[in-house]
Amino acid sequence: MKMGPCGGGFGDVWEMDVRGIDRIVKLILWHCGAVDAISMVYERDGQEEQARQWGKPEGERSEICLESDEYLTCVKGRLGNYAGCFLVGTVTFVSNRCTFGPYGMGEGAPFELPAAGGRIIGFHGRSGGLLNALGTYVKMG
């Protein structure tokens, strides 16, 4: 199931092929005044794969490593405004065990993408030099 994206309309659209993805292993974020870029390592059919990076890797680099029985249940944050365009100002990841973040800065409109009984297995959105919009793919069950 595809949720979102939340954010602005600028940047290039990107999507993931989530067929066969079992879980997210690690999230990699770059952030400063906003969320600059995101990438992830996921497990597909028992093998770890690195997703491409969306956005430009500037600012502080943070990694979120999930345990083998841990999965994301929600992505939330606040939108920001940079040079007149809306983007992902802050992002927080919630797992079945704990909360990671917020990463970035911003006091704009809040957004929330709950998995509603499922688990988040991937992302889609828009990006250029920054992360303009972020959405999720949810696997139910």
C-alpha span between 118 and 111 (Å, rounded): 18
**Among 62, 77, 54, 75, which Cα is nearest to 26's?**
62
C-alpha span between 83 and 98 (Å, rounded): 34
**Among 118, 87, 84, 90, which Cα is nearest to 106's?**
90
The one-letter amino acid at 104: G
pLDDT digits (tens, 9 = 90+) for 39-74: 999 999 999 999 999 999 999 999 999 999 999 999
**Average pLDDT for residues 14-21, to the nearest whole number?**
96
**Average pLDDT for residues 25-38, to the nearest whole number?**
96
Regarding pTM above 0.85, the answer is yes
Task: Place domain 2-140 in its CATH homologous superfamily.
Answer: Jacalin-like lectin domain (2.100.10.30)
- Would you list the domain boundaries of the chain? 2-140
C-alpha span between 113 and 41 (Å, rounded): 20
Q: How confident is the model at residue 31 (pLDDT cuts 50, 70, 90)?
A: very high
pLDDT digits (tens, 9 = 90+) for 78-120: 999 887 888 999 999 999 999 999 999 878 999 999 999 999 9
